[in-house]
Structures are given as C-alpha cells and as structure tokens.
Amino acid sequence: MLSAAGPTHAGPVRIPMEHGFSPYTDNGGTTLAIAGDDYVIVAGDTRQSEGYSINTRYCPKVFKLDNNCVLATGGMAADGQNLVRRLKQSIEQYHHVHAKTMSPSALAQLLSVVLYGKRHFPYFVWNTLGGLDADGSGWVYSYDPVGNVEKRKWACAGSAGHLIMPFLDAKIGHHHQSQIDAKTEGKPGSVPFDTAMKYTKDAFTSATERDIYTGDLLEIFVIRKSGVTVEQIPLKRD
C-alpha cells in the first residue's frame, strides 16, 4: 500500500548482518617471573582455553631458550609457539656466527626488535624474559605485544595477572607495607629464593580459585649459574 509518505512495512525492519573475522584468540593462562640476587624464577600454568572450553590441559607457556634465559609467553598459544621457534633459530645462528651464547641483555633487545618488526600484524602475546646478568644477578624483562620493554625484578601477565600483580607489589616491592621482616621477606625489590618460591606457589594456587583460565599444572623454571631446573606442581583441574 502506498501513501503520501511513501511505502509502509507491516513487519519489523531487518538490519543487515555484519560478518566479522578476527585472526586472534586469547587462550588464557597466567605467567609470572621473580628475580633475585642470584636467581630468576619464571613460572606459568599449562591450561589452554578458548571461551568456556578447555582445548588441552598441557600447553606449556614457559620455554628454556638457553642455559641462561627462559621465556614465558601468554595470550594466543599459536603466536607464542611461533615466536619461540623464531627466537631459538636466531639464538642458534648467533652461536654459529660468534661461537658464544647470547647474553640476556642482547636477547632482550632481540625480542623487542622482533616484536616491533611485527607491529602492523603483531604477535598476540605478552612476554616475560628472565635471565642472569654477567655478574650473576637476576633480571626480568616484560613486554607488550609490539615490543615495549621494561627491565624489573618481578612481573606477571595473563588472565590472572590483575589478581597476582598487587600481591607481588606488596610482598616483593613492599608497597604500602609498614612492618617488614627483612630476614624472611628481604629488602624491597629482592627476596630470598625460598620466599620467592613460596610466593610463586601461593600466587598460582590462589589464582586458580578466581580465574577459570588458569589451572591444571604449574611449571616453575629456576635459573641459576649452574643452569636451569624445572619443577611441576599440580593445580586445580576444574
């Protein structure tokens, strides 16, 4: 039926559907790193999720790059694994050309350059690199997906990062703390190794109670002058 105002519609107006595609997905999980005077702890859970589904209960997020450096990567698992393969190839090539291992500071710079080089189609990962300097002191380098890097003594990223980071700030950085036992908790920014291990285990155990994307198994990599050791601890599986 036509009217002076134009044609009329008896039914509801249908809005055109918009079809979108994203090449990225967040597979969840959490990573953590704590550096001390002579050690670095790098830890991550192994659950890989998508939405409310668990794809696999064992997808490592922490990787040994050499005897002096360990990388934790969280976000999109496929991008993280691709980045690790690329870094290992660069490390191997460096060793063949220069007949020596790459220092943590050089590897930290390499990782920043690699991430920045992909800034137009970035790796959808948040990386944390741990290593020992030439003097044996531990340091942690935290990154965003496009290569911005910060050198610090502790870092956390992933789906439970917002839960764990305030805990580390209080316990390691002694932020807003009035009474501190220096013997057991160390000076601000540095804690004894046993205390750091306790904080790591407590942080992940608590995070699994609040974050459905963190769980199954905790892998803890410890870097010392003698090399890298790995410890696995069960976490909640529900």
The Cα–Cα gap between 17 and 42 comes to 45
User: How confident is the prediction along the chain (238 residues), in pLDDT tens digits per residue?
Assistant: 455 555 555 667 777 777 778 899 999 999 999 999 999 999 999 999 999 999 999 999 999 999 999 999 999 999 999 999 999 999 999 999 999 999 999 999 999 999 999 999 999 999 999 999 989 999 999 999 999 999 999 999 999 999 999 999 999 988 776 666 655 566 677 899 999 999 999 999 999 999 999 999 999 999 999 999 999 999 999 8
Could you tell me if residue 4 is inside a domain? no
The structure tokens 């990225």 sit at 24
3-state secondary structure of 112: helix
Could you tell me if residue 197 is inside a domain? yes
Please state the domain count of the chain.
1
Could you tell me if residue 8 is inside a domain? no
Could you tell me if residue 13 is inside a domain? no
Could you tell me if residue 62 is inside a domain? yes
Query: Residue 176 has what pLDDT?
Result: 72
Could you tell me if residue 9 is inside a domain? no
Query: Residue 83 has what pLDDT?
Result: 98
Could you tell me if residue 18 is inside a domain? no
Residue range of the domain that includes 175: 23-234
Query: Residue 73 has what pLDDT?
Result: 98
Could you tell me if residue 216 is inside a domain? yes
Q: Are 45 and 75 spatial neighbours (Cβ–Cβ below 8 Å)?
A: no
CATH of the domain at 98: 3.60.20.10
Query: Residue 97 has what pLDDT?
Result: 96
Residues 6+ apart with CB under 8 A from 173: 154, 188, 189
The Cα–Cα gap between 178 and 135 comes to 32
What values do phi and psi take at 79, rounded to 5? -65, -40
